Amino acid sequence: MKAVIGLGNPGIKYSQTKHNVGFRLLDTIVKEAGYPYRDDFRGKVAEGRLNDKRVIFLKPYTYMNLSGLAVNQLINYYKISNDDFLIIHDDMDLPLGKLRLRSKGSSGGHNGLKSIIGELGTQEFWRLKIGVGRPKEDLDVTNHVLSSFKKEEEIILSEVLSAAYKIVLLWIEGRGMEAMNTFN
């Protein structure tokens, strides 16, 4: 069994923000696969089979800073190993248009990852970082990640999410290293 977890904040107010790219990608995957969401594990969950693997998809509704609560609950319930779950999240250290798949690492200052690492007690899990760039000098970090993408940025994001979709499918097939070599 695999788990793919997209990070974000619940509600229409946040749906198109930079912080919610994890939710957006997960919604695309779940919709393409035709799986319905249900309320469970402090969020929205969908499940089914992709590439002959049973996959659980989770959008934690605990808000970004408490994502670890929902992730920990799901991981412990299904006894999913660290190699078998993938966290999808925004990353300000990557420019818009860049993706990076990693099998482990620190939080890099990302509060959602901090929460997950704190709850699980490990940094050893897969994560797909979607670049959203740094804020301009006059904008603070919180306002940046909670702002929407501009029209021209949405065009770039569309291409990025398409590539990220391919990365997730490769990862589900157990080809994470190949995906890293191809897309990083």
Which residues belong to the active site?
A: 19
Tokens coding 8: 């974000």
The closest of 107, 113, 95, 84 to 176, measured between CA atoms, is 84
Strand bridging mode 126-131 / 85-91: parallel
In whole angstroms, give the CA distance from residue 184 to residue 68.
26
In whole angstroms, give the CA distance from residue 27 to residue 35.
10
